[in-house]
Amino acid sequence: MLGGLYLAYDLAVGTGARLPGGDLRTLAGVVFVVAVTGLGAWITYLVVPQPGRPGVRSRWSAALGLFAALPIAYLALVILFQVVKPLLVP
């Protein structure tokens, strides 16, 4: 869903829409990556227990999610802008 919003913003600015603040695509990309990594860290913290201590949550679980979410954010951006965007732009 976040990716769809980011792609819609990119397409709107790319086609000349005048939005408040001007062209903030770089900031929107940073917000997207931070949101994906933050959500990944939080969800992993809730789901994955610390090794060797069943049922115990720690910063280790959140760090695991953070490092796993970075490639996911990159993959999402590649799919959005290399696969989906060319299908939508004539």
The per-residue pLDDT for 78 is 95
Say if pTM beats, i.e. exceeds, 0.85.
no
Candidates 40, 36, 44, 42; CA nearest to 80 is 36
Residue 84 has pLDDT above 90, yes or no: yes
Query: Buried (b) or exposed (e) across 69-85, using 16+ Cβ within 10 A?
Result: beeebeebbeebeeeee
The per-residue pLDDT for 15 is 86
Question: What is the C-alpha to C-alpha distance for residues 68 and 39, in angstroms, rounded to an integer?
Answer: 11
Instruction: Give the chain's mean pLDDT.
Output: 88
**10-37 tens-digit pLDDT:** 888 888 888 888 888 889 899 999 999 9
Mean per-residue pLDDT for 34-57?
Answer: 86
